[in-house]
Amino acid sequence: MRNKFTWNLLFNPFTKIAGWQAFALGMLFVLLTGVIGTYAGVAFDGAIDSHITEYLSLKDSFLFLVIAVVSVVVILFTAGLIISKRLRFVDILGTMVLARSPLILLAIFGLFVTPVPAEEIMANPMAIMHNPGLIIFSVISIPVMVWFIALMYNGFKVSTGAKGSKLVIGFIIGLIVAEVVSKVLIFQIF
């Protein structure tokens, strides 16, 4: 019984925490992710993106995170208003910010990765295969991103109270639009 409760809490903590509490805890994770990601060279440059980079300033790291968080919150709030009548902005804000907490694992694992220079990859694409840290990071990033997106979905579900195909379609379209918006904004700024 306790084991099932733990798994449920890992994938849907929003039955226990939401709103301003979720926002405060999520912001702690976002700030730590930004700082660690800066020193690890892990850029979270999109709504659902992470990349290893050779150089990342603290300013750029946090700018990426702000754009990603604002894009997700605004777009999913808009999608939520379309599919649900009982939606509070603070619930979407809190759940979407807290949903980013697994990304701290990618920032931490990034500390053990030596980035391969872009020129080397262009000259020899197989150079990536000679970097065990990068391979391990890539493998670990898959379950972390699945967990992250599952948290976002569950947060959206709890916040909107929606069910069925409306929920799924609203979330998928909202997430795709948030990713596109975040990438366009980042491209325009950089």
Domain with 47 in it: 14-183
pLDDT tens string 66-119: 999 999 999 999 999 999 988 999 999 999 999 999 999 999 999 988 877 777
6, part of any domain: no
Q: pLDDT band at residue 4, thresholds of 50, 70 and 90?
A: low
Q: pLDDT band at residue 12, thresholds of 50, 70 and 90?
A: confident
Number of domains in the chain: 1
Q: What is the mean pLDDT of residues 44-69?
A: 93
137, part of any domain: yes
Q: pLDDT band at residue 64, thresholds of 50, 70 and 90?
A: very high
49, part of any domain: yes
The full DSSP string for the chain is -HHHHHHHHHH-GGGT--HHHHHHHHHHHHHHHHHHHHHHTEE--STT--EE-S---HHHHHHHHHHHHHHHHHHHHHHHHHH-SS--HHHHHHHHHHTTTTHHHHHHHHTT-PPPPHHHHHH-GGGGGG-HHHHHHHHHHHHHHHHHHHHHHHHHHHHH---HHHHHHHHHHHHHHHHHHHHHHHHHH-
- Stronger pLDDT, 170 or 123, i.e. the higher one: 170
156, part of any domain: yes
